[in-house]
Amino acid sequence: MSTLLAFAGSNSSTSINHELVTYLTTQLKESTFELFKLSDMDLIVYSEDEQRENGFPSSINQIYKHIQASEGIIISVNEHNSNPSAFFKNVLDWLSRLDRKFLEGKKVFLVSASTGARGGMSSLEVVKNLIPRFGGEVVDTFSFPSFKENFSLAEKTITNEELRKEILLKLHQFENQLK
């Protein structure tokens, strides 16, 4: 059985990307998982001066340890103005300074959600191109559009049957690649 780490790149308390990644963890068939909420982390904005004067924040060391202990990672990337959020970029900056290849040997399933029709596609592409720089392998991606119309927050489930089938197929294919 594989061990997965799952998190959203958002620091919003009402993150739809956290809702999506949480849903995906409930659908895992052959993996154990740890669901991480980055918004609970206390993270200062990265700078060389901060690193030199104070070292690495304990939360970055904690995230790093969880990444290293996992065989695969599910990341739900949020989007601000067609890019990953500054918060998520900051997490990547800290991690890459701790260990440039912090994702070495890790398989990654990238998803994104937005309230728009493109489903965070632009942000997803940016992160998809970054992951290999840190040693990770993007196994698959999925862009979840029009979140409010296709996901029930009350029931914590995907209501659009076509989207549900497609994302779960990709999720289970991802799980199978970790064996």
What distance in Å separates the CA atoms of residue 153 and residue 157, rounded to the nearest whole number? Answer: 7
Mean pLDDT, range 53-72, rounded to an integer: 96
Provide mean pLDDT across the span 22-47: 93
Inform me whether the pLDDT recorded for 42 exceeds 90.
Answer: no
Tokens describing residue 82: 């067609």
pTM of the model: 0.96
> What's the chain's average pLDDT?
96
Residue type, 46: Y
Q: What pLDDT sits at residue 41?
A: 87
Mean pLDDT of 63-85: 96
Q: How confident is the model at residue 3 (pLDDT cuts 50, 70, 90)?
A: very high
Side chain identity at residue 132, one-letter code: P
What does the pLDDT look like over 109-166, one tens digit per residue? 999 999 999 999 999 999 999 999 999 999 999 999 999 999 999 999 999 999 999 9
Q: For domain 2-177, is the CATH number 3.20.20.140?
A: no
Integer Cα distance of 94 and 20 in angstroms: 25
Rounded to 10 degrees, the C-alpha dihedral 90/14/108/56 comes to 30
- Given a contact cutoff of 8 angstroms between Cβ atoms, the answer to whether 136 and 103 are in contact is yes
Residues, the chain, total? 179
Q: Based on DSSP, count helices (H) and strands (E) in the chain, helices before strands.
A: 7, 7
